Amino acid sequence: MLLEVRDLRVSYGSIEALHGISFTVDRGEIVTLIGANGAGKTSTLLALARLPRPEAPAVTSGDILYEGQSILKTEPHTLIQNKMMALVPEGRHIFGNLTVEENLKIAAFPHRKDINREAITGEIEELVFELFPRLRDRRKQRGELLSGGEQQMLAVGRALMTGSEFIMLDEPSMGLAPKLMQEMFRALKQLNFVKRMTILVVEQNARVALDFASRGYVLRNGEIIGGGSTADLALDPDVKKAYLGG
């Protein structure tokens, strides 16, 4: 088991967003959490990534185990430095005034100023460009001049630059035209297949997510109300009715 979430409760001040959720992600798996607006998808990923952001929720009880060890007290930069996990957050967190290449380079080793980025990052950067050829064509272009879909690809590329073995994505399909969405999910599938990368993706677009992942959980109002293989979930009458448009 790579990741085990046990009875996790998460709050923003006095508002509880997750009321004790449990789920697992095995090494090499693609797992999805599907749910409507406000179900708690982003809260789950923010809790897992342990980001020291003011808008991040607090874990009030339960546990998050990574390879059997609790990471509740682990510093977020330790998670990144040890290549344990990387988050592609909701929205596109890239630097608009930096070029594609610069965005990628600074994503690697964000806490190290003493290393030769050029030498170490070249190989991963090449991987990112192989996965997203349109980023290669635009390597000297400033981030803010990319299309929304290209910015989304760059955000994924930045997470890859950390060299992490586990990547979490918050609604990567958001705002993407069907063709770019296909490109995005094809690239992620390839990473999973070729690099054995473990992927946890949260999506409001259940159709796309169930197609992409091998296992999934259904999140509603801060609780997990179902789970199983995505093939089974896609056939589940309740899931169909609530998330697949009947």
Ligand X SMILES: Nc1ncnc2c1ncn2[C@@H]1O[C@H](COP(=O)(O)OP(=O)(O)OP(=O)(O)O)[C@@H](O)[C@H]1O
Q: What residues make contact with Mg ion under the rule CB under 5 A?
A: 41-42, 90
* 125 or 170: CB nearest ligand X: 170
Are the C-beta atoms of 155 and 88 separated by less than 8 Å? yes
* 29 or 170: CB nearest ligand X: 170
Give CA angle at 116 (110, 121), nearest 5°: 65
The residue length of the chain stands at: 246
CA dist., res. 198 & res. 133, Å (int): 22
φ, ψ for residue 138 (rounded to 5)? -115, 25
Q: Work out whether strand 15-25 and strand 3-12 pair parallel, antiparallel, or are unpaired.
A: antiparallel
Site for ligand X in 33-52 (CB under 6 A): 35, 37-43
H helical segments located in 72-147 = 76-81, 100-107, 117-131, 133-137
Per-residue x/- track, 72-111, ligand X (CB under 6 A): ------------------x---------------------
* 6 or 19: CB nearest ligand X: 19
| C-alpha 221, offset from chain centre | 20
* 12 or 193: CB nearest ligand X: 12
Tell me the one-letter amino acid at 78.
Answer: T
* 131 or 202: CB nearest Mg ion: 202
Q: Work out how close the CB of 102 gets to ligand X at its nearest, in angstroms, rounded to a whole number.
A: 29
Binding-site partner at residue 15 among ligand X, Mg ion, none, CB < 5 to 8 Å by type: ligand X
Q: Work out whether strand 166-170 and strand 58-66 pair parallel, antiparallel, or are unpaired.
A: unpaired
| 54 interacts with ligand X by CB under 6 A | no
| 143 interacts with ligand X by CB under 6 A | no
Residues that bind ligand X (CB under 6 A): 12, 15, 17, 35, 37-43, 55, 90, 204
